[in-house]
Chain A
Amino acid sequence: MIEVKSLSRHYGDFLAVDQLSFKAKQGEILGLLGPNGAGKTTTMRMLTGYLPPSSGTALIDHHDIVRDSVETRKRIGYLPERVPIYPDMTVRGYVLFWAQLRGTKEAKSRTDMVLKQFDLYTRKNTLVRHLSKGLKQRLGLAQALVHDPPVLILDEPTIGIDPQQVIEVRDVVKELGKQHTILFSTHILTEAEEICDRVLIIDHGRIVAQGTPQQLQKEIYSTQYYVQVGGGKTADVRALLQSISGVAEVSAEKDGFLVKSTANEDLRAAISTSIVSAGYTVLEIHQRRSTLEDIFLAAIKAAPGAQAGKKAKR
């Protein structure tokens, strides 16, 4: 549904997006994850037709964003980072305006439908300026959805609203992901983990890692095991664990040890066997999952040229 082909964008000398390529299937929620200034907003602005790419292109529902801009714009619902509003319009007037401007069929009934969907119908005659920040965010989503676009592009939709509203927005996005292809940017890692089917980690305009949140955990970060051993002196057990092939590092933690593996293979069997054959007992052993946060930092560190790009930051 979205197919990005080596998309690049310069601002003067600064390379904001560098040869980005990715795809999103129909009904997929794709997360763009990266620190501020990583190129998330620039990428989204190019896909929505607000900024022309310096080079490369992208297809939205088989339409080229450069050659066929108007057709792609019809197929996208966009929620910018800051929801722009006309303060003097009513809630209904605002959504209806966007519906009409985007050529929605039966704009009025469609408007009422999305207002009901986002619980704004009871406030349809309220002036937009009187809405709270969370409600404005919902209004932004209603606006993006009113013409029923196959693709939704949401730029950090959970910034600056309270935790209750964040949860609401996340639930809404998850629900929408069943029918729409969603490109969703965030710099909050747990959010990407919770919502997205697939995550692209970008930094300095390049993809540094991608995959499902589960895949990323496997691929990038070495697996860790927490092991608690009954019997034996600490130093002896540590030496024993260290001697197992595939173990990179052993450190003491609480009442047990944290064992890091070098490769991405399951060491639990090997660990328990050697402990038992040395005459000790295994009290506890479990694999410790790395969080997306760890993955993120590891990915950024591992990416070549990550340091070089820093000077050019805006």
Chain B
Amino acid sequence: MDTLTIFRREVGSYFTSPFAYFIAAGFLLFCGILFARDFQEAATQTTTINPAFIPAVISFLMVFFAPLLTMRLLAEEKREGMMELLLTSPASESSIVMGKFFSAWFYYTILLALTLLYQLVLFAYAPPDIGHTFLAYLGIWLYGGAMIAIGLFFSSLTENQIVAAFLSMITLLILYIGDAAGQVIGNIDIARVIRSLSLQGHFSTSFQVGILRAEDVVFFAGIIVLMLYLSIRTVESHRWR
């Protein structure tokens, strides 16, 4: 119930501040430009259309956009003193953190839904494999949730939004390029460990190519649960300091 109250207020604040619209505009602009180029190439040359193209683009874009979405979530509450009122209300720490997380994930889901427009364009010209499209979108949706949970955690650590954004961007970038690093390392066992720890490694060779593996779903869900847990504990720790 409290989670829902926090969630509703938070979603409301996304849609009443210009900031969220700027983020959405930037996000969609990037996706649009890259889609148009890919589409043009596919039309003039004889490469095939990849329905996972936009999700793959988003997996990289979100390294930079997820921190922008999440940096204010808890850091701002602390700086503005709002956390003091929240923590003195009967709401629990977990409902505060969960409300915030789901609101950011909800906002991301809307952004993602808007990019389905490109899939509609594809359907008009060269119908893609629906199963492949669906899996790529399911994958990037979970992937985004994990990224947002990581960003939320860094937002819980500091009062400074810039610091929160910077730390989560670095972390997400490492978790993104871990996939590529895993592919160039000679020792296969080390490479395998690094890849399976990276976020991208659970997307690029499964969801992105239209494969559903339980381990990837569990990995993303696990990251979300772990990060939420750590964020809740961090918020709770304000009481013991």
A82 contact set on B, CB distance < 8 A: 81
Q: Is B239 an interface residue (CB 8 A)?
A: yes
Whether the Cβ atoms of A84 and B239 lie closer than 8 Å is no
> B74 to chain A: closest CB distance in Å?
14
Q: Which of B177-227 contact A (CB under 8 A)?
A: none
8 Å CB interface, A57-111 against B: 70, 73-74, 76, 78, 80, 82, 84-86, 88-89, 93, 97-98, 100-103
Are B13 and A103 in contact, CB atoms less than 8 angstroms apart? no
Whether B81 lies near A74 (C-beta < 8 A) is no
Chain B residues whose C-beta falls within 8 Å of the C-beta of A80 in the assembled complex: 81, 84-85
- Residue from A48, A74, A97, A143 in contact with B9 in the complex, judged by beta carbons closer than 8 Å: A97
Residues of the B chain whose Cβ atoms lie less than 8 Å from the Cβ of A100: 5
Interface residues of B in 1-54 (CB under 8 A from A): 1-2, 5-6, 9, 12-13, 16-17
For B87, what are the chain A residues with a Cβ–Cβ distance below 8 Å? Answer: 49-50
**Interface residue stretch chosen among B62-70, B88-96, B155-163:** B88-96
Chain B residues with CB below 8 A from A78, complex form: 85, 88
Are B9 and A84 in contact, CB atoms less than 8 angstroms apart?
Answer: no
B239 pairs with A73, CB closer than 8 A: no
In the complex, which of the residues B80, B90, B240 contacts A85, with contact meaning CB atoms closer than 8 Å? B80
CB distance from B70 to the nearest CB of A (A): 17
Nearest-neighbor residue (CB-CB) of A99 within chain B: B5
Residues B88 and A48 in contact, CB atoms below 8 Å apart:
yes
Alpha-carbon distance between A111 and B173 when the two chains are bound, in angstroms = 46
Min CB–CB distance B139 → chain A (angstroms): 33
Taking a contact as CB atoms under 8 Å apart, the answer to whether A73 and B80 are in contact is no
| Closest-CB distance, B235 to chain A (whole angstroms) | 12
Known contacts A50-B87, A52-B240: A88-B16 contact under CB 8 Å: yes
Please measure, in the bound complex, the distance between the C-alpha atom of A182 and the C-alpha atom of B13, giving whole angstroms. 33
Q: Shortest distance in angstroms between A44's beta carbon and chain B's nearest beta carbon?
A: 10
Say whether A51 faces chain B, with CB atoms less than 8 Å apart.
yes
Tell me which of B87, B88, B239 has the highest count of chain A C-beta atoms within 10 A of its own C-beta: B88
**Residues A51 and B91 in contact in the complex (CB < 8 Å), given A78-B85, A93-B12:** no
Contact yes or no, A49 B88, CB < 8 A:
yes
A98 CA to B9 CA in the complex, in Å?
A: 10
Task: Verify A86–B90 contact, CB threshold 8 A.
Answer: no
Q: Are A86 and B9 in contact (CB under 8 A)?
A: yes
Within 8 A of B (CB), among A20-72: 45, 48-52, 70
User: How many whole Å from A156's CB to the nearest CB in chain B?
Assistant: 13
Inter-chain contact A101/B239, CB cutoff 8 Å = no
Residue B82 lies at the interface, judged by CB distance under 8 Å to chain A: yes
Complex CA gap A78/B84 in Å reads 10
Bound-complex Cα distance A49 to B87 (A)? 7
Q: Is there an interface contact between A101 and B80, defined as CB atoms closer than 8 Å? A: no
Closest chain A residue to B18, Cβ basis: A88
B87's closest neighbor in chain A, by CB? Answer: A50
Contact residue among A76, A84, A101 (Cβ-Cβ distance under 8 Å from B6): A101
Q: Which residues of B lie under 8 Å from residue A76 when comparing CB positions?
A: 88
Please, how many angstroms separate the alpha-carbon atoms of A100 and B91 in the complex? 10
CB of B89 within 8 A of CB of A73, answer yes
Distance in Å from the Cβ of A203 to the closest Cβ of chain B? Answer: 24
Smallest CB–CB gap between A115 and chain B, Å? Answer: 17
- Answer whether A50 and B16 are a contact pair too, CB < 8 Å, given A98-B89, A101-B2: no
In the bound complex, residues from chain A placing their C-beta under 8 Å from that of B92 are: 70
Which residues of the partner chain A approach B88 to less than 8 Å between Cβ atoms?
Answer: 48-50, 73, 76, 78
- B239 near A88 (CB under 8 angstroms)? no
B85 A88 Cβ-Cβ under 8 A: no
Write out the residue numbers on chain A whose beta carbons fall within 8 Å of the beta carbon of B2. Answer: 101
Q: How far is the CB of A196 from chain B (nearest CB, A)?
A: 23
User: Is there contact, CB below 8 Å, between B9 and A102?
Assistant: no
Smallest CB separation, A227 vs chain B (Å): 54
Question: Are B13 and A89 closer than 8 Å at their CB atoms?
Answer: yes
Q: Judging by beta carbons under 8 Å apart, are A89 and B85 in contact? A: no
Q: How far is the CA of A53 from the CA of B16 in the complex (A)?
A: 39
Q: Which of B6, B9, B90, B240 contacts A89 (CB 8 A)?
A: B9
- Closest CB of chain A to B107's CB: distance in Å? 14
Q: Mark A108-149, 1 if CB is under 8 A from B, else 0.
A: 000000000000000000000000000000000001000000
19 contacts between A and B (CB under 8 A): A50-B238, A74-B90, A82-B81, A84-B80, A84-B81, A84-B85, A85-B82, A86-B13, A88-B17, A89-B9, A89-B12, A93-B9, A97-B5, A97-B9, A100-B5, A101-B5, A101-B90, A101-B91, A143-B85
10 shortest A-B CB distances, which residue pairs?
A84-B81, A48-B88, A84-B82, A100-B5, A88-B16, A73-B90, A74-B90, A101-B89, A101-B5, A78-B88
B interface residues (Cβ-Cβ under 8 A, vs A): 1-2, 5-6, 9, 12-13, 16-17, 80-82, 84-92, 238-240
Q: With A84-B84, A97-B9 given, can you name 19 additional A-B contacts, CB distance below 8 Å?
A: A48-B88, A49-B88, A50-B88, A50-B238, A73-B90, A78-B88, A84-B85, A85-B80, A88-B16, A88-B17, A89-B13, A89-B16, A93-B12, A97-B5, A98-B85, A98-B89, A100-B5, A101-B86, A101-B89
